[in-house]
């Protein structure tokens, strides 16, 4: 059942340490990161084509706000069931099905014929993508030790932001050459290729992968006092729904992520439209200058997640390690978004948005590491609850920004976003406890770097 058919409990810690560890888990991380990349390309490409779609179908900005919100509403609805499926049936099977379905629904967006079919296609895309990140988090939990979780979550979301950064250029080029429908046909086909590669390479636990040796397994699982490698937490236990849903910590974590999603979803939905219609930027310029905040956010993903892990390794204090990164990230993001909205200079506005997004993305590593820590073997379900509430925040962004932009109010939405981000900082400082399990209410056992 292990990489060389030797039971995990018979592995000796000394023997494991004497061999150079393989690095198969990093290949797994790369595959999952590619999924994040494709996911965000499929969900954000509509932001580039919004003006053309609205013109062709005669849709107002309020109507387009509803279309954009359709994705996040469905995305929110599908989070908990999909996360539970990942816990129950394993990440490999569930992620393969999810990717295949969302690739088909992405193509459906390109085939839309009016508001109804467009709304329906985006709703189905959101429903199909809903389980991607919760199930992937469960998969990464099984493949990585706790002291690497901030960094791996920062890395996967680095790829998602990279997707948003390059999508305006790629989608804009396709738009100019072939029309807006071709964007969705081309992007939608990428998921099928990924699903095939993932099915061939991935295993639900590293114990079942031939490319994982004893030394790497010891780093992933940790070693018991008697020298044996710890087994994975994969027992098929009944999901403790009551404990999860009644846990105050669960809802504090979720509300914190609501504030984060509210702030970031602007860049996935209205940001290109804001640049084109308020700052009067051309499609070609959009592909260059429009990507600056997204690249800043990518740096924030990796820096925030890695910084949180470094603090955790040095202190063994998860509460400090996650809070000291997430809370300042929210505060600084709020501080920079206000001058971004108030300045009349396009260049300064983009730079301030870049600074805001950089600090906001500090939050992502700690935010996604915490459900892996406090959810145990039900982390897919716990992450699903968090992401469901977060998606509601994203849906709120699409509607609030669309409604205010439709009235010609280009500054007010940013002031609302600044307030929401400050609220997120307060939630992280005073309410979220990264060391308290949401399953049994107990304290999560601390793992220092020496344990792995």
Which residues form the domain of 129?
A: 23-210+237-447
Nearest CA-CA partner of 271 in 254, 291, 301, 256: 291
Nearest CA-CA partner of 63 in 401, 402, 404: 402
Other Cβ atoms closer than 10 A to 110: 19
Q: Residue 106 — very low, low, confident or very high, per pLDDT cuts 50/70/90?
A: confident
Q: Please give the Cα distance from 320 to 323 (Å, whole number).
A: 5
Least confident of 21-30, 182-191, 248-257: 182-191
With respect to residue 7, please indicate whether it lies within any of the assigned structural domains.
Answer: no
- pLDDT of res. 257: 94
With respect to residue 427, please indicate whether it lies within any of the assigned structural domains.
Answer: yes
Radius of gyration of the chain (CA): 22
Share of the chain above pLDDT 70, in %: 91
Longest Cα separation, the chain: 70
Q: Average pLDDT for residues 67-73, to the nearest whole number?
A: 82
- pLDDT of res. 450: 37
Burial of 116 per CB tally in 10 Å (0-12, 13-18, 19+): exposed
- pLDDT of res. 236: 64
Q: What is the pTM of this model?
A: 0.76
Q: Which residues contact 143 (CB under 8 A, 6 or more apart)?
A: 25, 28, 29, 205, 206, 220
Q: Which residues contact 392 (CB under 8 A, 6 or more apart)?
A: 72, 76, 258, 261
Q: Please give the Cα distance from 451 to 103 (Å, whole number).
A: 41
Interval 266-308: pLDDT, tens: 876 777 777 777 777 776 676 677 778 888 988 999 999 999 9
- Beta strand ranges found along 54-142 (DSSP E): none
b/e code 252-267 from CB counts within 10 Å (16+ = b): bbbbbbbbbbbbbbbb
SS3 423: helix
Q: Average pLDDT for residues 162-182, to the nearest whole number?
A: 86
- pLDDT of res. 335: 95
- Report which of residues 164 and 16 the model is more confident about: 164
Q: Residue 442 — very low, low, confident or very high, per pLDDT cuts 50/70/90?
A: low
Q: Residue 234 — very low, low, confident or very high, per pLDDT cuts 50/70/90?
A: low
Domains held by the chain: number: 1
Decide: 145 and 216 in contact? Cβ < 8 Å.
Answer: no
Interval 338-378: pLDDT, tens: 998 888 888 888 899 999 999 999 999 999 999 988 988 88
Interval 383-408: pLDDT, tens: 889 988 988 887 777 778 777 777 77
Interval 7-64: pLDDT, tens: 433 433 444 444 788 999 999 999 999 999 998 888 888 878 888 888 888 888 778 8
Helices (H), 202-291: 214-221, 241-246, 248-269, 271-273, 283-289
Q: Please give the Cα distance from 163 to 144 (Å, whole number).
A: 24
Element (H, E) at 391: helix 379-406
With respect to residue 52, please indicate whether it lies within any of the assigned structural domains.
Answer: yes
With respect to residue 10, please indicate whether it lies within any of the assigned structural domains.
Answer: no
Burial of 40 per CB tally in 10 Å (0-12, 13-18, 19+): buried
Of 1-5, 189-193, 334-338, 345-349, highest mean pLDDT: 334-338
With respect to residue 192, please indicate whether it lies within any of the assigned structural domains.
Answer: yes
Question: CATH no. for residue 148?
Answer: 1.20.1250.20
Q: Please give the Cα distance from 99 to 191 (Å, whole number).
A: 6
Mean pLDDT of all residues belonging to the chain: 84
With respect to residue 229, please indicate whether it lies within any of the assigned structural domains.
Answer: no
Q: Please give the Cα distance from 392 to 254 (Å, whole number).
A: 10
With respect to residue 314, please indicate whether it lies within any of the assigned structural domains.
Answer: yes
- pLDDT of res. 324: 94
Q: Average pLDDT for residues 225-242, to the nearest whole number?
A: 76
Q: Please give the Cα distance from 94 to 195 (Å, whole number).
A: 11
Judge whether residue 65 has pLDDT over 80: no
- pLDDT of res. 287: 64
Nearest CA-CA partner of 373 in 410, 327, 319: 319
Q: Residue 154 — very low, low, confident or very high, per pLDDT cuts 50/70/90?
A: confident
Decide: 300 and 358 in contact? Cβ < 8 Å.
Answer: yes
Q: Please give the Cα distance from 354 to 293 (Å, whole number).
A: 4
Q: Please give the Cα distance from 45 to 181 (Å, whole number).
A: 11
Other Cβ atoms closer than 10 A to 11: 24
With respect to residue 425, please indicate whether it lies within any of the assigned structural domains.
Answer: yes
- pLDDT of res. 448: 42
Interval 82-100: pLDDT, tens: 888 888 888 999 999 988 8
């Amino acid at each position: 059942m292990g990489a060389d058919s030797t039971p995990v409990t018979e592995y000796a810690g000394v023997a494991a340490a004497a061999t150079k560890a393989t690095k198969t888990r990093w290949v797994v991380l790369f595959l999952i990161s590619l999924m994040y990349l494709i996911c965000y390309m499929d969900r954000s490409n509509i932001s580039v084509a919004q003006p053309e779609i609205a013109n062709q179908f005669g849709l107002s900005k309020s109507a387009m706000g509803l279309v954009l919100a359709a994705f996040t509403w469905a995305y929110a609805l599908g989070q908990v069931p999909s996360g539970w499926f990942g816990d129950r049936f394993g990440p490999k099977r569930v992620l393969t099905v999810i990717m295949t379905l969302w690739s088909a629904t992405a193509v459906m967006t390109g085939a839309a014929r009016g508001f109804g079919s467009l709304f329906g296609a985006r709703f189905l895309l959101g429903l199909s993508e809903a389980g991607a990140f919760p199930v992937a988090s469960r998969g990464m939990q099984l493949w990585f030790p706790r002291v690497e979780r901030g960094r791996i979550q920062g890395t996967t979301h680095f790829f998602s932001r990279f997707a948003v950064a390059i999508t305006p250029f790629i989608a804009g080029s396709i738009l100019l050459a072939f029309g807006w429908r071709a964007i969705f046909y081309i992007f939608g086909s990428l998921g099928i290729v990924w699903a095939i590669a993932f099915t061939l390479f991935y295993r639900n636990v590293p114990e079942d992968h031939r490319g994982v040796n004893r030394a790497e397994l010891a780093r992933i699982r940790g070693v018991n006092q008697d020298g044996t490698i710890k087994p994975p937490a994969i027992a098929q236990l009944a999901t403790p729904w009551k404990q999860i849903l009644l846990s105050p910590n669960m809802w504090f974590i979720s509300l914190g992520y609501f504030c984060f999603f509210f702030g970031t979803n602007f860049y996935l939905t209205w940001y290109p439209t804001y640049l084109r219609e308020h700052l009067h930027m051309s499609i070609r310029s959009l592909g260059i200058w429009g990507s600056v905040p997204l690249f800043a956010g990518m740096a924030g993903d990796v820096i925030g997640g890695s910084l949180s892990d470094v603090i955790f390794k040095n202190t063994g204090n998860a509460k400090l390690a996650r809070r000291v990164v997430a809370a300042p990230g929210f505060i600084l993001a709020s501080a920079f978004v206000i001058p971004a909205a108030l300045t009349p200079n396009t260049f300064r506005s983009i730079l301030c948005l870049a600074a805001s997004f950089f600090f906001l993305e500090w939050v992502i590593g700690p935010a996604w590491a915490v459900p892996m820590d406090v959810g145990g073997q039900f982390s897919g379900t716990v992450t699903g609850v968090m992401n469901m509430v977060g998606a509601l925040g994203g849906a709120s962004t699409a509607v609030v920004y669309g409604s205010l932009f439709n009235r010609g109010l280009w500054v007010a939405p940013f002031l609302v976003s600044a307030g929401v981000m400050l609220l997120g900082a307060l939630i992280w400082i005073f309410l979220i406890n990264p060391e308290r399990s949401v399953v049994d209410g107990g304290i999560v056992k601390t793992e220092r770097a020496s344990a792995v």
